[in-house]
Amino acid sequence: MRRSGQLRRDVGDAMTAEPVLRTLLVLDIVGFAHPQRTDPARLRLRKELFELLDQTLVAAGVDPGHAPRVDLGDGVIVLLDPQLAATRVVEVVTGRLAASLAARNRRSPGDERLRLRVALHRGEVLIDPYGFVGRALVEASRLSNAAALRGQLDATAADLTLIVSDQMWRQLTGPHDEQLGPGGYQPVSVSTHDVTTRAWIHVPDHPTGPGAAARPSLATPPVYRSILAVDIQDSTAATRTDPVKERLRAELYRLLDQALSGAGITEQQHDPACDRGDGFLLLLHPVDDVPKTLLLGGLLPGLSAGLAAHNRGAPPAERLRLRAALHAGEVHHDANGPFGGPIDVTFRLLEAPAFKEHRRRRGEPLVLVVSGDIYRSVVWHEYPGIDRDAYRQLFHVRVAGRSHQGWVRTA
């Protein structure tokens, strides 16, 4: 029997497949279709591109055979395991790949020069018997073909230029990030026929780029996690004595364990829950068996059902009503626990006055807010069991100077 969260790779209907998270690395050869390039020259460039790609993956600690790719003819999209730190991908692209490309071009005549447009994005994709599909793939491809990126290459003699999606940038950096830092990355607008978004361009040999001077880095590399934060409503009410609070906490963790088990999520697929006194923080690993659809359509409904059953037999002072917030992004761990910008965003959503007021007006045992990232990557696509019309953008929060949407489930 297949667990509810297991990726269904054996079906051809993409509507029944679970979305899985991937880091998307796009490499495009500049001027591949130039009329002065012969087909044998194009063949040599493609061969060297894939050789450089394999070397880059190995440098990042990735087995090239375990990194599926989509051949674009004049380039490639590589689908990377999201458990590989995104900062590591940036490091090898702007370091190892840029250096190898420069060394290769010093040995090659002008017409044989290999220059690359590189794009980095992250998002949910679907897998079917024919390959991969998903808006994230379209967005990654459009990034690599952005007019701003092409213009940057036209204005410089660089061998490689990198563009990072704003969604990825927000996960990679903070206001005082020392690994990527804003220096050397310039914001640009990327326009397509249906939307205009922001992205960030970097030329690796830029004199003010991240490699210009040695910078201290955090002792722990960031890891991607789905982030679920939960608070007990009215935990400090006058009617709740400490013994009552103790019983409520014990019941909350019992219901969490029950919901995790019901959704088929094992201990190996999430970090230990972090206790917050009147709630918990749960970080779930980006594995294919735990897609975000499983959290929205399995874990949270299971938790809500358990709460409802508990409340039917509990006295008023011991009924559990919860606020929950769901977000995702790169987090760090140290000896004291997890930390990082995405966790800050999650708790800011959870504690937003507009969300607290919404909780007070609602009677159901659990109310949920999801970030704009979760809404756009999962909820909007209306996977089975998820009704996007049930979500309403109720408020914004600002964290580190950036605005984040709060989409509240209202039905």
pLDDT at site 158: 87
pLDDT at site 358: 93
pLDDT at site 352: 96
Residue range 265-316, pLDDT digits in tens? 999 999 999 999 889 999 999 999 999 999 999 999 999 999 999 999 998 8
**Model confidence at 192: pLDDT above 80:** no
If one compares 31 and 346, the residue with the highest pLDDT of the two is: 346
CA dist 285 and 83 (Å) reads 8
CA dist 88 and 341 (Å) reads 18
Residue range 156-166, pLDDT digits in tens? 888 999 999 98
pLDDT at site 267: 96
Report the Cα 366 to chain-centroid distance in Å.
25
Angle at 407 between CA 283 and CA 301, to 5 degrees: 55
**Model confidence at 357: pLDDT above 90:** yes
307 and 322 Cβ atoms separated by less than 8 Å: yes
pLDDT at site 336: 86
Surface-to-core class of residue 114, CB atoms within 10 Å of its CB (0-12 exposed, 13-18 middle, 19+ buried): buried
56 and 118 Cβ atoms separated by less than 8 Å: no
Q: Which of 80, 110, 83 is nearest to 93 (CA)?
A: 80
**Model confidence at 124: pLDDT above 90:** yes
**Model confidence at 5: pLDDT above 70:** no
Residue range 197-252, pLDDT digits in tens? 889 999 886 443 333 333 445 557 789 999 999 999 887 776 778 888 888 999 99
Q: Hey, CA dihedral for 48, 54, 56, 58, is it positive or negative?
A: negative
Percent share of the chain, pLDDT over 70: 88
pLDDT at site 217: 53
CA dist 229 and 368 (Å) reads 10
**Model confidence at 179: pLDDT above 60:** no
CA dist 372 and 225 (Å) reads 16
Query: Tokens 């220059």 label which residue?
Result: 115
112 and 49 Cβ atoms separated by less than 8 Å: no
User: Per-residue pLDDT averaged across 357-362, rounded?
Assistant: 92
Report the Cα 379 to chain-centroid distance in Å.
14
pLDDT at site 218: 53
User: Per-residue pLDDT averaged across 367-386, rounded?
Assistant: 94
pLDDT at site 368: 97
Residue 173, φ and ψ in degrees, nearest 5: -125, 155
**Model confidence at 260: pLDDT above 60:** yes
CA dist 212 and 138 (Å) reads 33
pLDDT at site 220: 72
Q: Hey, CA dihedral for 372, 373, 377, 382, is it positive or negative?
A: negative
CA dist 68 and 132 (Å) reads 9
CA dist 122 and 135 (Å) reads 11
Residue type, 326: L
CA dist 261 and 120 (Å) reads 35
User: Per-residue pLDDT averaged across 20-34, rounded?
Assistant: 92
**Model confidence at 4: pLDDT above 70:** no
Q: Which residues pair with 332 in a beta bridge?
A: 339
Residue type, 230: V
User: Per-residue pLDDT averaged across 39-64, rounded?
Assistant: 92
What's the CA dihedral at 384, 389, 390, 391 to 10 degrees?
Answer: 110
Q: Which of 249, 183, 220 is nearest to 330 (CA)?
A: 220
pLDDT at site 238: 67
Query: Whole-model pTM?
Result: 0.86
pLDDT band at 176 (very low <50, low <70, confident <90, very high): very low
Return the HEC string of the chain.
CCCCCCCCCCCCCHHHCCCEEEEEEEEEECCCCCCCCCHHHHHHHHHHHHHHHHHHHHHCCCCHHHCCEEECCCEEEEEECCCCCHHHHHHHHHHHHHHHHHHHHHCCCHHHCCCEEEEEEEEEEEEECCEEECHHHHHHHHHHCCHHHHHHHHCCCCCEEEEEEHHHHHHHCCCCCCCCCCCCEEEEEEECCCCEEEEEEECCCCCCCHHHCCCCCCCCCCEEEEEEEEEECCCCCCCCCHHHHHHHHHHHHHHHHHHHHHCCCCHHHECCCEECCCEEEEEECCCCCCCHHHHHHHHHHHHHHHHHHHHHCCCHHHCCCEEEEEEEEEEEEECCEEECHHHHHHHHHHCCHHHHHHHHHCCCCEEEEEEHHHHHHCHHHCCCCCCHHHEEEEEEEEECCEEEEEEEECC
pLDDT at site 183: 53
User: Per-residue pLDDT averaged across 178-202, rounded?
Assistant: 72
Residue range 68-117, pLDDT digits in tens? 999 998 999 999 999 998 888 999 999 999 999 999 988 887 778 899 99
